[in-house]
Amino acid sequence: MTVQQIRIARALSLAAFALVAACGRKPDADGQQSDGERGATTGATTAASAATAGSTTATVDDAQRPAAAATVADTGKPAKGQLIAGRSKQDQATFDAAIRMGTKADASWPKHPAAPGALLPSRRIIAYYGNPHSKKMGVIGEYPEQEMLAKWDRTIAEWKAADPSTPVMPAIHLVTVVAQGAAGPDGMWRRREQPQMIERTYQWAKSRKGILFLDIQASHSTLEKELPLLLPYLSRPDVHLGVDPEFYMHYKREGLRPSSKVGQMYAKDVNYAIQTLDKLVREKKLPPKVLVVHRFREDMVPDAENIRPTPNVQVVMHMDGWGPAWLKFDSYHHYIVRHPVQYTGFKLFYHNDTKAGGALLTPKELLQLRPRLLYIQYQ
């Protein structure tokens, strides 16, 4: 396949997935947003529309991004990644490009010193995500408790076998402040999880000698209002934090229903979380915290390079989009690798990534990406 043919094929695929993404997300029956419906496709719609002359397909939002096909048009000898049998030529071309570009960028990524006791980079976090009240938000709510824990055990074992040199840290990633499909009594369009459920999921993590992440989908509320309420839990040495720009309905998204458009955070918002955690670590003499920032579009954190990790707070920029393998590789390159912060993560969707019939990406495939992935999340 020539470079031009690859460009055309990828542009057509982007346009097709743009139509899927433009259908939007609907609340679950219990009022929670169906977080499992987010897509890596969302940020690619502008490039696809530009590539299809005369197209009038509406994008989900007004973000701009570079044409994805540019990564394939490298004139040098491509790095060849090893994919499992059955992957497409497009998967292979984009995988090779992502490895090549990631390898080039790896040396220039900032190196932040970590305080004693830091989890990263000596360990790899393998997290199961969701909320037990919703079957659509992720794996920890989709299955009965024991079935979910057994599935988690198998996933952890796969990663240990794929990379014995890097110890695995199991994690439960609980969406603790949950964006809602209704405004609620206070008009904040979010629900705060009950302490009993937080403790239940904490025990799941403890049962595997793992850690717990508390995730904030602040919606019309703010990090300044939501994060302080979680500090009693974050005062534990094995509890960490996640923040989700997708459901931060401020700036250009002020007043909009969460999921009607993709939300947005700026570095100042993330830095507030970092400084709050840093102060907590110093005051309570805790080991360093990990902060996970979800991202599947450039405009979700438009000034990500201004995020400032500290020795006490390690930041993972987490590629959170769903779709076919080639699109996830491309999103990792465009939204994570090209905007260096500190460490990198990658989400796998058991259902949405395999809708077109392709197999879920494997540990051995993901281990070839650069910068090296240290946080893997399953939804």
| pLDDT on residue 79 | 61
| pLDDT on residue 111 | 84
Query: Per-block average pLDDT, block size 10, for the chain (379 residues)?
Result: 43 38 34 40 32 26 32 48 95 96 89 90 97 95 97 98 98 98 96 98 98 98 98 98 98 94 98 98 98 97 97 97 95 94 97 94 97 97
Q: Which residue has the tokens 């991004």?
A: 65
| pLDDT on residue 112 | 86
Say which residues have a Cβ less than 8 Å from residue 167's Cβ, sequence separation at least 6: 122, 123, 124
Question: What b/e sequence results for 297-324 when a residue is b if at least 16 CB atoms lie within 10 Å of its CB, and e otherwise?
Answer: bbbbbbebeebbbbebbbbbbbbbbbbb
- Cα 82 from Cα 129, distance rounded (Å): 28
Domain extent, residue 324, equals: 1-109+119-379
| pLDDT on residue 114 | 81
- Confirm whether 345 is domain-assigned: yes
Number of structural domains the chain divides into: 1
- Confirm whether 300 is domain-assigned: yes
Kind and range of the H or E run holding 325: helix 325-332
Q: State the DSSP code for 295.
A: E
| pLDDT on residue 91 | 96
| pLDDT on residue 36 | 36
| This prediction's pTM | 0.83
Distances from the Cα of 134 to the Cα of 3, 92, 146, 243, 325, angstroms: 44, 35, 16, 19, 26
Query: How many other C-beta atoms are found inside a 10 Å radius of the C-beta of residue 78?
Result: 15
| pLDDT on residue 80 | 83
| pLDDT on residue 110 | 86
- Confirm whether 114 is domain-assigned: no
